[in-house]
């Protein structure tokens, strides 16, 4: 069966996010002043061939840990559909 | 009230995603061969000060259309919490 894994990789809470700060500046320049904080990460969609949702989850976790996320600076969440 | 808008920006379906193709090659090199397709986009969290969920949604849509997503190459989804 085919599953779609939606992996969100975000910078860890305690870390500065300079890209987010730059985007917040850009929003303010456009007149959008009600945004207090911006954080920017990655969203990765994997199409996985697996026997079950659990197996797809294991493969997506493996991919995230080995390649997609850097655990020193990032955390990730996985959703399997 | 404070709301969190989760904005996912992905390359349009019909478009090539060279970053995704490169990551798929990397996964194959690591021995993960059950992944058939990879697409990579951005995930943006906005902290928004607004009177209601609807107002926060309008602000997030405005931000996405004006700055965060390029409608020629990208589509976006918004979730307000």
**Are the beta carbons of A25 and A60 closer than 8 angstroms?**
no
- Residue among B39, B45, B50 whose CB faces A39 most closely: B45
Q: Can you state the percent helix, strand and coil of chain A, rounding each to 5?
A: 35, 40, 25
Please state the pTM of the whole predicted model.
Answer: 0.91
- Residue among A10, A35, A59 whose CB faces B34 most closely: A59
Q: Do A32 and B62 touch (CB under 8 A)?
A: yes
Burial (Cβ within 10 Å: 0-12, 13-18, ≥19) of residue B62: middle
**Are the beta carbons of B15 and B73 closer than 8 angstroms?**
yes
As for the ipTM of the complex, it is 0.89
pLDDT tens, per residue, chain A with 81 residues: 999 999 999 999 889 999 999 999 999 999 999 999 999 999 999 999 999 999 999 999 999 999 999 999 999 999 999
Q: Where are the alpha helices (DSSP H) in B30-80?
A: 53-63
């Amino acid at each position: 069966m085919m599953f779609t894994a939606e992996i969100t990789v975000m910078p860890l809470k305690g870390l500065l996010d300079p890209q987010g700060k730059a985007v917040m500046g850009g929003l303010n320049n456009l007149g959008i002043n009600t945004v207090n904080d911006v954080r920017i990460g990655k969203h990765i969609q994997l199409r996985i061939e697996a026997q079950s949702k659990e197996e797809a989850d294991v493969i997506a976790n493996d991919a995230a840990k080995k390649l997609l996320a850097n655990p020193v600076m990032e955390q990730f969440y996985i959703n399997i559909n």
